[in-house]
Amino acid sequence: MARLIADGSSASGYGGGGSGGAIALNITHLTGHGIAQTNGGAGTSSYGGGGSGGRIAVYVTESTKYEGSFQAIGGSGYGSGLTPHGGPGSVYFHESRFGYPYHKLFIDNVDRSWDHYFTIDEPGERSEYFDEIHLTSSASLHLPNDGVPRQLTINKLYGDKTGLITVHGNQQYTIDHRENSKTTLKAPVNFKLEKNSTAFIATTFDIIGSGVPAFDWNGRLVGVQNLRIAPGREVLIRESAHTALIVDDNYEYIDVPGEFRFVHLEFGALTNVAFPPPLGVRFKVGFLDMKWGSQLTAEYFEIYSSDLHLEPIALWKCPGEDSQMGDLVRLL
């Protein structure tokens, strides 16, 4: 079994581990069961941090029937916490499918902290595209948070529900979204949309990430008609969150911050959706479906809905006071 190893060195004394190296393969056919590895080195048990994972890039011009493994993880650091460990590296595949290039990116964080972001930062590039991105074991992904307008397009997103995608201000992400077409994204990661960010998401968006919260929303969500929150998830909606819709390359509407439109909005059993004080909620929704034990918390509610379904012990929690007595809850 072939082995390609470019690991970072482990530390001695009080040092930190070395970063993983790089492996680049340019080949016609990829087959076999070998191992390619660029892991970070371990830090010392008392003081040293782990080295970051390295990079693996595989360029295949014709076919791939490989059943081996690729690994680019950070080295272990001192102590029992999650942050002293090295950040993840990456495994990138550039393949050819039906004569067209096909791009895949794999990030594995070995169940360490989301603080160890993997940053997509190609020199001179402000727009990135991947056919597939795979985030596993608490891998977190973002573009540089430097205020520069940037775009990331992901055609298909894969993961184990532990990863995190963060969209910073002045950035636009497009994930499984095709204008004027119906698509579905059962998002196997957690999301964070910061203020002044924009995310174009599939027509039907299922929030199934296992993080707390599974969705931290403070930006613009575009194109989602059906939002479904899986049972037991937590969603935090902040002051700049809102929805929008584009038809034929033009915005049909852009809601003001704090207002949301959906055809179907479903809160799964035991979900918790919160608007931090002093925020209220204004929903325009065709069918609002709150399952058993779900909870919606805000300072006030204005809900315009054609159909409303509340299961036992579903709760609207309204702890604050509106500007006018009697306007705390409005159903229209």
Q: Please list the pLDDT of the chain residue by residue as tens digits (332 residues).
A: 478 999 888 887 777 889 999 999 999 988 888 899 999 999 886 678 889 999 999 999 887 788 889 999 999 887 655 568 899 999 999 998 888 899 999 999 999 989 999 999 988 899 999 999 999 999 999 999 999 999 999 999 999 999 999 999 999 999 999 877 899 999 999 999 999 999 999 999 999 999 999 999 999 999 999 999 999 999 999 999 999 999 988 999 999 999 999 999 999 999 999 998 888 889 999 999 999 999 999 988 899 999 999 999 999 888 765 545 444 455 55
The pLDDT, as a whole number, for residue 327 is: 47
Question: Domain map of the chain by residue range?
Answer: 3-217+232-250
CA nearest neighbour of 132 among 95, 169, 184, 180 = 95
Q: What is the pTM of this model?
A: 0.92
The pLDDT, as a whole number, for residue 80 is: 59
Contacts of 15 (CB under 8 A, 6+ apart): 43, 44, 48
Report how far Cα 65 is from the mean position of its chain's Cα atoms. Answer: 29
